[in-house]
Each structure stands twice: as C-alpha cells, then as structure tokens.
Amino acid sequence: MNKPEDDLLINRILQGGPVAEEAFSDLAVYYGPKIYQQVFRILRDENLAQDAIQNTFIKIWRNLHQFNKECTLFSWIYRIAHNEALTILSKEKKQKDFVSNSPIVEWSGHSGFSDQLNTEEISNLLLEAIDMLPEKQAQTFQLKYFDDLKYSEISELLGTSEGALKANFHIASEKIKEFLLSQLNH
C-alpha cells in the first residue's frame, strides 16, 4: 500500500461520517503493521500487542483533532503506541511476574557473544539500550535495524532528511553497542 497523504487522511477523518470511517481504515491498514512491530518488541506477546494496538487506535480516533502537526503523523502515532505498550507492560508486571520468552533478536551463526548471553537476555538488553535513546534516534534505529526500511521510506515517515537519518542511525548504533559491551564486560 502506498503511503497515504497525511493531511488528506486527517481532513477526511475529521469530516466525520462514512468518509471518516473509510479514511480511518486506510490509516489503520497503512500505519497499523509498522506500529504493531513497535509494540510487539516492547510487549513480546501477541495478545498484549493487539490490546496496545487497539488502545492506540482508539486514542488516535478520539484525539486526532488535537494533532498539531509539529511532527509527522507517524511520529505522533508511534508515541501514542509506545506509551500504550509501556502502560500495559507496567500493569502486567504489577499483576504477575511478567516474563516474556519471545526474543526479538537471535545470534547470527556462531557469535563469540552468544556464549555469554542467550537470545532472551540480549533482547532485554537491546530494548533497554533503545529505551535510553532520544526518541528520533530510537525511531530511526528501530525502523532501520528491525524493520529494514530504506532511508527514503523512513524519511517519509519521520519527515527527516536521509542524511540526518543516517547520522541518527550511526549515533544510535554506537550508543547501543557501547551499552551492550559495557553490560557484557560487567
């Protein structure tokens, strides 16, 4: 699906009626999968991720009129989804000993590092490292590293130049690498 024009999408949704419902469906179909991956990495549970996605889209539908266009629509949605996922994660951790056994990365071939950490442990550390990044760097890193999007696609989503995105990705990678190595040497 081609990226819909955000302004057009927003205007159609704010019109209300069947036009709004159709536009909202387009929004969900285009942004839904990208956001789903984001929340799944945080929650690492299919049902919880779907709950977070549902809450996210309810908030988008109810609060789109408040979107002030200071960032791209994707960034706004990303932020809502991120917060929803963290809220759900926090509730789950309070209610029970929440343990996710669904790693988000795996060792490629035989890595020397794999002797020290299993995929679950390195996944947790990686998420911790991403969480410490500034939002733009975190978004860029995830869209590039995990979702393997082209810089041109990320540029369209985040409204940032490709050059700036490359710099963001480089800095983010360095910070993450530094964090992971410090944890491994600890």
Residue 156 CB, nearest approach to other proteins (Å): 19
With CB under 8 A as the contact rule, which of the stretches 56-64, 80-88, 93-101, 152-160 interacts with other proteins?
Answer: 56-64
Q: Does 122 bind other proteins (CB under 8 A)?
A: yes
Cα 83 to Cα 42, 63, 96, 119, 177, distances in angstroms: 10, 15, 20, 25, 25
Q: Does 46 bind other proteins (CB under 8 A)?
A: yes
Q: Which of 9, 43, 88, 126 binds other proteins (CB under 8 A)?
A: 126
**114 contacts: CB under 8 Å, gap ≥ 6:** 107
Q: Which of 43, 48, 64, 80 binds other proteins (CB under 8 A)?
A: 64
Distance of CA 180 to the CA centre of its chain: 20
Which of the 8 DSSP states describes residue 62? H
Cβ–Cβ under 8 Å, residues 158 and 74:
yes
Placement of tokens 């989503």 in the chain: 157
DSSP 66-99: G--SSS-HHHHHHHHHHHHHHHHHHHHHHHS---
Q: Does 63 bind other proteins (CB under 8 A)?
A: yes
Q: Does 164 bind other proteins (CB under 8 A)?
A: no
List contacts with other proteins (CB under 8 A).
13-14, 16, 20-21, 24-25, 27-29, 32-33, 36-37, 40-41, 46, 50, 53-54, 57-58, 61-65, 103-109, 111-114, 122, 126, 145-146, 148, 173, 176-177, 180-181, 184-185
